[in-house]
Chain A
Amino acid sequence: MINYQPLISHFKESPLLIQIAWVASCVLITAIILLSIYLKIMRYHLRKKEKENTQFKNEYEASLIEYLYSGDALGEMNATQESIIQKIKVSVPIKAKRKIIISVLYNLMNEVSGEMSDSIKLLYYKTGLIRYALERLESKRWHIIAKGIGELTRFKIDEVHHKVSKFVNHPRSEVRKETQLYLVSLFRFEGLSFLNNLTTPLSEWAQIQLLETLQKFDDQQICDIRPWLKSTNDSVVLFALKLAQIYNQFEVQDTLMELLSHPKKQIRITAIQVLTHLYGVEAKELLKANFNDLSLEEQICFFGMLEKLVMPTDEPFVEKYLFHKNFEIQLLALKILKSINIDKYMGLSQTATNEKDSSMIKLVNSL
Chain B
Amino acid sequence: MKKIVLAEDNTTLSLLLKFRLEKEGYTLFMAKDGKEATELIEAHEPDLIITDIMMPFISGLEVISHVRIKLDMDTPIIVFSAAGQEEMVLKAFNLGANDFMGKPFSPNELVIRVKRLLTVVAIS
Contacts and interface: CB of A to CB of B under 8 A. Distances in A.
Interface of A: 57, 61-62, 64-65, 68-69, 104, 107-117, 216
Nearest to B19: A65
B116 to A, nearest CB: 19
A107 B106 contact: no
B107 interface: yes
A60 to B, nearest CB: 9
B106 A110 contact: no
The residue among B12, B15, B104 with the most chain A CB atoms within 10 A of its own CB is B12
A82 B104 CA distance: 26
A64 B19 CA distance: 12
B13 interface: yes
A27 B11 CA distance: 49
A69 B16 CA distance: 9
Contact of B19 (A69, A104, A216): A69
B13 A113 contact: no
A64 B10 CA distance: 14
Per CB-CB distance, the 6 closest pairs between chain A and chain B, nearest first, are: A113-B104, A114-B106, A111-B13, A108-B12, A61-B12, A111-B103
Given A112-B106, A114-B106, A107 B10 contact: yes
Interface residues of B, number: 16
Interface in B11-59: 11-13, 15-16, 19-20, 23
Contact of B12 (A107, A113, A114, A115): A107
Contacts of B108: 114
A115 B20 CA distance: 14
B15 A61 contact: yes
Nearest to B14: A61
A216 B13 contact: no
B13 A108 contact: yes
Given A112-B107, A116-B106, A107 B13 contact: yes
B19 A111 contact: no
Given A69-B19, A69-B20, A110 B12 contact: no
A117 B109 CA distance: 14
27 contacts: A61-B15, A64-B12, A65-B12, A65-B15, A65-B16, A65-B19, A68-B16, A69-B19, A69-B23, A107-B10, A107-B12, A107-B13, A108-B13, A109-B104, A111-B10, A111-B13, A111-B103, A111-B104, A111-B105, A112-B13, A112-B104, A112-B105, A112-B106, A113-B106, A114-B106, A114-B108, A117-B104
B120 interface: no
A309 B105 CA distance: 45
Contacts of B83: 216
A113 B16 contact: no
A112 B10 contact: no
Given A68-B16, A69-B20, A216-B83, A61 B107 contact: no
Contacts of B105: 111-113
A126 B83 CA distance: 30
Contact of A110 (B11, B15, B104): B104
A342 B22 CA distance: 73
A250 B111 CA distance: 45
Interface in B85-124: 103-108
A107 B11 CA distance: 9
Contacts of B19: 65, 69
A117 B108 CA distance: 13
Contacts of A111: 10, 13, 103-105
